[in-house]
Amino acid sequence: MAITLNKEQLLHEIALIDRRQKSTVFSPGIIGKILGTPQSWRSLKKDELIQVLEAWHHLLESCPKTSHWETVERGDRRVSLLADGQPWVDYFGFPSLKSAETFLEQVLPHCDWAIVRKSGKRVNASFECKVWGLTQDYFAAIAPQRLEVCAR
């Protein structure tokens, strides 16, 4: 997908995505994952903004096109959405923004994308970390007690 917007339009597009997701989709950690250096999306040059938007669009385009979605509750603070039996996105709940952000830092090397936001209806918590493309090895390594430690 070729993006032909000017810098102001690109910044506006990112702000719209953040509002739709009710979070900071392009956190410094995600920017670092895409560009190699963690930084605020507001400080990016036009070509860098295009790169991060293209990465976001690529993630969305990779969403399975299926009507066979399944919600799997893996405890009070862990929910997975599966498409045709394959994991697509996982939600991890936390009592505080700080604990969710700590988990975000830990999970970023093991996933495609992750965001922190106020919790919606999926997990019983004040904040959630929504994670796309979490490696199965890392998912299996996260024991409920480890989540509890992160939650404090």
Q: Does residue 56 sit in the same domain as residue 120?
A: no
Counted domains in the chain: 2
Q: Does residue 43 sit in the same domain as residue 83?
A: no
Using the predicted structure, report yes or no on whether residue 95 has a pLDDT greater than 80.
Answer: yes
* Predicted confidence (pLDDT) per residue in 124-149, tens digit: 899 999 999 998 888 778 755 444 43
Q: Does residue 57 sit in the same domain as residue 20?
A: yes
Q: Does residue 126 sit in the same domain as residue 106?
A: yes
Q: Report pTM.
A: 0.85
Q: Are 79 and 37 in contact (CB under 8 A)?
A: no
Q: Does residue 76 sit in the same domain as residue 146?
A: yes
Determine the Cα–Cα distance for residues 123 and 116; give it in Å rounded to an integer.
13
Q: Is residue 2 part of a domain?
A: no
Structural domain of 104: 69-151
Q: Does residue 75 sit in the same domain as residue 139?
A: yes
